[in-house]
Structure 1
């Protein structure tokens, strides 16, 4: 099985995973042969890509991070603003992730194969935040509080005009300041629930604070920032960068990871970024990469060196362990070149996502 962007999908390809809509209904089943009409409809609905099965990707197995049913329940509860349901969903997300073998890195490329960014984003951030918490050895109660905060971090956006949230052009300063208010709006909504954990509310309020004090709403610095907020900040920016939005194309996973690494101790907490890097591979299984010798390949599995996975050459189907094969000792995976993105505008927008 391999992941392919919707732009590169062609008629005749065979689906390797079901495609769901934002209500959790199956749009296309496993083994469906894609047609031009299907591909067009998926593109219009905003799908970034799909998984396909073919001879080249035979044997590459990609597991769901959390179940499809739980993912869709979470998105619906976020959409409805149902806090009681979100409490239950947070416990279920923690339970499913704790059942996974921590020693196995978690591929999250499948989070990119669902439509409806607004509600799926909150679930994605909850999953990624919980994974970071697991790698930081949080106990189960703390993981629940963290996951709940991540699920609800953007709930205040319901008070802001969607035309501003989804504006394809750069925000005006007035619009930018208005969108920044979503953190306080979210906190105010949660503060009405007296059973809401205090650390959860603080995580929601401060998830856009930067380590150097340039964030919002309170320009907190370093240790002043609550630990849950530090984690959600990493997960939020990562998911925003790797998602297709009206104002930008999605960044490659490796590009987003480079951004997090470069922002450590400036924008992001270094320990949260390091925990993220432990759990999430730079190159997810099933994605296509180009190497510095010009060869194209699929990522088959990750090795002890996150930058040198096991790959399968597209030219002949041969598997190469970049970490140990002496013939490829000087070959690396070529970096992506970011194009057609106004980075200043993108930064402003995903800092509000």
Structure 2
């Protein structure tokens, strides 16, 4: 199985993953040949790319930490909660409880996974970016949490905090948030108040732990004090918020937005690394580099010797040196960049088109 950009999809390719809408309904089933009507539909809903199956990469297996049905149930419940919160937050207790339960289910799957690492491309659409992004960054945050040896209950709280951190954005014009135009200083300052709004909204709900509310309030603070709303520095920022800051920025960078295209995962990975000790907690960045793959499984890559191939397996303790399947003089070869003595001089130069 391999990942391709949506612009590279051709008729007849076999779909390598189930495609769901935000209500959890199956749109396309894994193994279906992609006909022109399907391809046009995928373009229309604004996906970045998808996995396809072929003989070349049939030995490359994608194993998500969170089951697709668990993830899509969470997307559906988060969407329902956010939409109802926008009209009447005071009467959302039931949908809040359902969203919490959906996030806890993700937390439990991550907690009981032997070696959780985020090394796949998650399906998302531009139209429903907010809901997919919420669950993606929630998943990434909790995977980082396992690297900090969090117990199950703390991991659940971290996930709920991540899933609720942008609830305060409901008070703002959604077209404004998705606009490709430059915002005025007044509009930017208003949006920067959403952590305070979210904190206040969650304070109205029973059963929302103080650490969750604090994480929501702090999630846009930055290690060097340049964040908002309180310009907090270093350990003044809550642990949950320091984790979520990294997960939030990483998933946003690898997503298409109205004002810029997505970057490749390895580019977002390098951005996070470069800002350790500046924007982000350097110790958590170190955990991030073990728990999030620079080159997800199925990525087409080019090695420093010019050979091209695909990532087959990622090591959680060596994110930049995975096992790869490459073309070498018209034959396929498996190279373990971490453990093969003959490969120590090779590096992944880039993700190839």
TM-score scaled by length of structure 2:
0.90
CA distance in 1, matches of 2:120, 2:336: 22
Matches within 5 A, 1:247-326: 247-303=259-315, 305-314=318-327, 316-325=331-340
- Give the deviation of 1:3 after TM superposition: 1.2
- Over 6 Å off, 4+ runs: none
Distance 2:350 2:79 in 1: 37
Q: How far is 1:115 from its partner?
A: 6.6
Matched, 1:49 2:49: yes
- Written as runs of structure 1 = structure 2, the 5 A alignment for 1:1-353 is 1-81=1-81, 82-102=95-115, 105-112=117-124, 116-303=128-315, 305-314=318-327, 316-325=331-340, 328-335=343-350
TM-score normalized by structure 1? 0.90
Q: Classify 1:107/1:158 alpha carbon distance in 2 versus 1 (closer, same or farther; 3 Å).
A: same
**Partners of 1:106 and 1:281 within 8 A in 2:** yes
Q: Distance in 1 between matches of 2:142 and 2:337?
A: 30
C-alpha distance in 2, partners of 1:335/1:136? 29
Query: Hey, what's the Cα distance between the residues in 2 that align with 1:182 and 1:145?
Result: 20
For the 8 Å contact 1:21–1:115, the answer to whether it is kept is no
Contact 2:19 2:27 in 1 (8 A): yes
Q: How far apart, in 1, do the equivalents of 2:76 and 2:30 lie?
A: 24
Contact 1:48 1:244 in 2 (8 A): yes
Which has the larger share of strand?
2
Post-superposition offset of 1:327: 5.3
Contact 1:285 1:301 in 2 (8 A): yes
Cross-structure match for 1:350: none
* Whole-angstrom CA distance in 2 between matches of 1:260 and 1:4: 24
Contact 1:50 1:113 in 2 (8 A): no
Residue 56 of structure 1 and its aligned partner are, at CA, apart by 1.0
Deviations 1:141-198 (A, max 9, x none): 2111111100111111111111211111333322221221221221111110132100
Which ranges in structure 1 are unaligned for 5 or more consecutive residues?
A: 338-353
The count of aligned residue pairs is 336
Deviation at 1:72, TM superposition (A): 2.0
What secondary structure is seen at the aligned counterpart in 2 of 1:306?
A: strand
Q: Secondary structure at the match of 2:101?
A: helix
Deviates more, 1:262-271 or 1:304-313: 304-313
1:66-112: CA deviations, max 9, x gaps?
1222222222222222211122122211111112112x534232355
RMSD: 1.9
| Cα deviation code 1:204-226 (max 9, x no counterpart) | 11100001111001101111101
CA distance change for structure 1 residues 7 and 133 in 2, over 3 Å: closer, same or farther?
same
Cα 1:87–1:324 shift into 2, 3 Å: closer
